[in-house]
Amino acid sequence: TQLLEQSPQFLSIQEGENLTVYCNSSSVFSSLQWYRQEPGEGPVLLVTVVTGGEVKKLKRLTFQFGDARKDSSLHITAAQPGDTGLYLCAGARAAGNKLTFGGGTRVLVKP
């Protein structure tokens, strides 16, 4: 059973469209991280959120951490083919604790 459920599992959109990926859990996390992974490579950290209700923006990417620190979302505005990849959320229960990863959302942005 995944402690972190990501949805959708797969998303295929046209360049210029918006998309949102969700990461939900019944557990509280002290911090939540989002990564993007490309084939044959390790995940690359996009952002870490630690405060309930926190919103972080990185160019066209907006990350939200739920008030109760149980869920998060990643929103991409005007997606580009370079956004294609596997998006992973990962939560830590306590400082220094292991990361629990969601199952991932595979995003395909078609030109």
Partner 1 sequence: KAGVTQTPRYLIKTRGQQVTLSCSPISGHRSVSWYQQTPGQGLQFLFEYFSETQRNKGNFPGRFSGRQFSNSRSEMNVSTLELGDSALYLCASSLADDYGYTFGSGTRLTVV
Residues at the site binding partner 1, with contacts judged by CB under 8 A:
2, 30-31, 33, 35, 40-45, 47-48, 50, 88, 90, 92, 95-104
Q: In the complex with partner 1, which residue's Cβ is closer, 44 or 78?
A: 44
**Minimum distance from CB of 13 to partner 1 (Å)?**
23
**Minimum distance from CB of 40 to partner 1 (Å)?**
7
29 in helix, strand or coil? Answer: coil
Q: Is the dihedral of CA 55, 68, 35, 95 positive or negative?
A: positive
Q: In the complex with partner 1, which residue's Cβ is closer, 75 or 93?
A: 93
- What whole-number distance in Å separates Cα of residue 69 and Cα of residue 29? 6
**Minimum distance from CB of 100 to partner 1 (Å)?**
7
Q: In the complex with partner 1, which residue's Cβ is closer, 15 or 38?
A: 38
| 48 exposure class (CB count in 10 Å sphere: 0-12, 13-18, 19+) | middle
- What whole-number distance in Å separates Cα of residue 21 and Cα of residue 10? 10
